[in-house]
A and B are shown apart, each in its own frame.
Chain A
Amino acid sequence: ILNVEQSPQSLHVQEGDSTNFTCSFPSSNFYALHWYRWETAKSPEALFVMTLNGDEKKKGRISATLNTKEGYSYLYIKGSQPEDSATYLCASPSGGYNKLIFGAGTRLAVHP
């Protein structure tokens, strides 16, 4: 089972700051890279599913890039707002199926 790692573990920023975090995964046998947003007491919700090297996706103030050759993805949040406070998870399928293996997550706290 592949190893998906995320950094940093936690992040505290001020409202209006832009921030980014990293997901690294094995570059061999790559299928897809998922990003999820997980608010406290709720269920994880998908932000992006990325499959192509060089892919860049955007949803509002949140964007993500993918480098499959070196095995990393970045998630960017521009102009962080308190409602962006959540844990951000990345995941990659292991073994070619939707057997998603998750990283431990980056916990973001945005302070007013």
Chain B
Amino acid sequence: NAGVTQTPKFQVLKTGQSMTLQCAQDMNHEYMSWYRQDPGMGLRLIHYSVGAGITDQGEVPNGYNVSRSTTEDFPLRLLSAAPSQTSVYFCASGEWATEAFFGQGTRLTVV
């Protein structure tokens, strides 16, 4: 059972480039979320989804785009990378009122 799989694990981008962080889960969870982790700030919610076709913004959505065409996949798109988006990104999935399961994280550096 793979759980939550994120790719890539590491990425370096130049300012202005775009890219997509992939997230897939095989637990048939309704809820999926993207977080970023910055020093001293814990996990901040970027976007989340409560099911296929339904997404909404979290605490820090600017500069990111998401879509949820299937239950399994929830990609995060950086439209035009900025140095402020240098961070570690985590994808998570879960069911209502139960624990969230996290992917292994993607370490992104924007130069």
Contacts and interface: CB of A to CB of B under 8 A. Distances in A.
B102 A97 contact: no
Interface stretch (A14-22, A41-49, A62-70, A73-81): A41-49
Q: Of B41, B50, B96, B100, which is in contact with the most chain A CB atoms at under 10 Å from its CB? A: B100
B50 A97 contact: yes
Contact of B104 (A9, A31, A43, A46): A43
Interface in B39-94: 40-45, 48, 50, 56, 58-59, 90, 92, 94
B90 A89 contact: no
B59 to A, nearest CB: 6
Given A1-B59, A49-B97, A51-B97, A98 B42 contact: no
Contacts of B102: 43-45
B33 A98 contact: yes
B26 interface: no
Interface residues of B, number: 29
Main SS class of interface, A: loop
B99 A104 contact: no
Q: Of A45, A98, A105, which is in contact with the most chain B CB atoms at under 10 Å from its CB? A: A98
B63 to A, nearest CB: 18
Nearest to A34: B99
A25 interface: no
Given A1-B59, A89-B43, A102-B35, A43 B90 contact: yes
Interface of A: 1, 6, 9, 31-32, 34, 36, 42-46, 49, 51, 89, 91, 97-105
14 contacts: A1-B58, A43-B102, A43-B105, A44-B90, A45-B102, A49-B98, A97-B96, A99-B58, A100-B33, A100-B45, A100-B92, A102-B42, A102-B43, A102-B44
| 3 A-B pairs with least C-beta separation | A46-B99, A98-B31, A43-B102
Given A34-B99, A89-B42, A99-B48, 13 more contacts: A1-B58, A34-B100, A43-B103, A44-B43, A46-B101, A91-B43, A91-B100, A97-B96, A98-B30, A99-B58, A100-B45, A101-B45, A103-B42
